[in-house]
Amino acid sequence: MATGQGGQGTPGTPRVLRAMNDRAALDLLVAQGPLTRTQIGALTGLSKPTASQLLGRLEAAGLVRTTGNVTGRPGPNAQLYEVNPDAAYVAALAVDQCGITAAVADVTGRVLGEERVGTDAVEEDAPPKTAQLVASAVDGALDKAGLTRERLHGAVIGTPGALDPQTGVLRYAPHLPGWHARALKDELAGVLGVPIVIENDVNLAAVAEQHGGAAQDFDDFVLVWADEGVGAAIVLGGQVLRGATGGAGEIGYMPLPGAPLARGGDRDAARPDAGGGFQRLVGSPSIVELAREYGGADVRTVDEALDDDRVRAEVARRLATGLAAVVAVVDPRLVVLSGEVAQVGGEPLRELVEEEFTGLALPRPEIRISNIEGNPILTGALHTALAEARNAVFDTA
């Protein structure tokens, strides 16, 4: 049998066709749960003998296992097959200014352990502190899952900002001290002993929306994250747009009427309480500040601020102004509003933003509020880590 470089089968050879059938069956088992041989054959179009050979092959490789029988129907009981959860384990992490949240899941996507560590969990002078914080969070999640680092296949870390593909330096996140070393990715991979992916947190929130949230079935959409920080994920043709330096979607810097220009480079402009641009209009601290200007001297939270109809209307106007600039350039079918501001403002805020688009000479995308439960950044990191692991361990070629 002809093979290509690295022993990979030539397209169209039996080896490649078998691998394609294996992957189709494994994806079905992940998506639909335990299935019988007959069900797998029907869903993949494979004959019973071929489906039997496939399942025998995958069981021998440790990728599937039997999990009981179908009962309560005429004829012999049919065996059920499922993906073997032990085939791979992954870690997903979400980083913020106050700490790191880590989750560990098996290859089926079932979360087995979760841990939160604050930035004070490691001594300030501990070298390198960032790597030790990541290790502490992952180890805590692994311990709850009853696993060790040796069982991990890989990890995906969601952080504010983005790695510059040219330099490897994390940009647009000056408020994360210790995360800007050129060797950061190598340090993290070294301490965990597995491949590491570092991805922008808002991009990961968009991945979560694509898989199980408001953006399912949309290939062209923008997710706008309004929280302490402000950013966007731009998805075109189903792919996240990153830009030359990883900064696509950093709309917090975007100059808009009513906001001071973001000057002073990364170190100043991206701070939630400083700088300028769109972030100074719709970031959480600015909304609290707006409510105080409207007479709410005791307002401390976004919840309290958006209780005021006047504040909510002004925030909607500001959001719509920024969205109009994005829509004019990207022309998405959908805009998803996420982050604290969107979650607190909810449907009343969404309706006001939508109304602000009335009469504008622009495309009018559908506007939705994120409906992801829990931490969307952690959820997106988990989806990304699982995709990486499955691409590797489910490849039987």
**What pLDDT sits at residue 71?**
66
Kindly state the average pLDDT of the residues 26-47.
94
Give the rounded percent of residues in the chain with a pLDDT score beyond 90.
74
Kindly state the average pLDDT of the residues 186-205.
94
Give the whole-angstrom CA distance, residue 229 versus residue 366: 23
**What pLDDT sits at residue 1?**
34
Condensed to tens digits (0 to 9), the pLDDT of residues 250-298 reads 999 999 988 887 765 544 444 444 557 999 999 999 999 999 999 988 9
Give the whole-angstrom CA distance, residue 383 versus residue 369: 20
Cβ neighbors of 245 (< 8 A, separation 6 or more) are 162, 164, 165, 166, 171
**What pLDDT sits at residue 258?**
83
Condensed to tens digits (0 to 9), the pLDDT of residues 354-365 reads 999 988 888 899
Condensed to tens digits (0 to 9), the pLDDT of residues 111-157 reads 999 999 998 877 765 568 899 999 999 999 999 999 999 999 999 99
pTM of the full structure: 0.90
Look at residues 141, 121, 129 and name the one whose alpha carbon lies nearest to residue 176. Answer: 129
- Average pLDDT, whole number, for the chain? 90
Look at residues 40, 47, 13 and name the one whose alpha carbon lies nearest to residue 397. Answer: 13
**What pLDDT sits at residue 273?**
47
Confidence of residue 306 (pLDDT cuts 50, 70, 90): very high
Cα–Cα separations (whole angstroms), residue 121 to 144, 174, 273: 18, 20, 25
Contact 83, 30 (CB under 8 A): yes
Rounded to 5, what percent of the chain is helix, strand, coil? 45, 20, 35
Phi/psi for 231 (5° steps) reads: -160, 180
**What pLDDT sits at residue 361?**
83
**What pLDDT sits at residue 74?**
52
Cα–Cα separations (whole angstroms), residue 243 to 164, 171, 234, 248, 383: 9, 13, 10, 5, 22
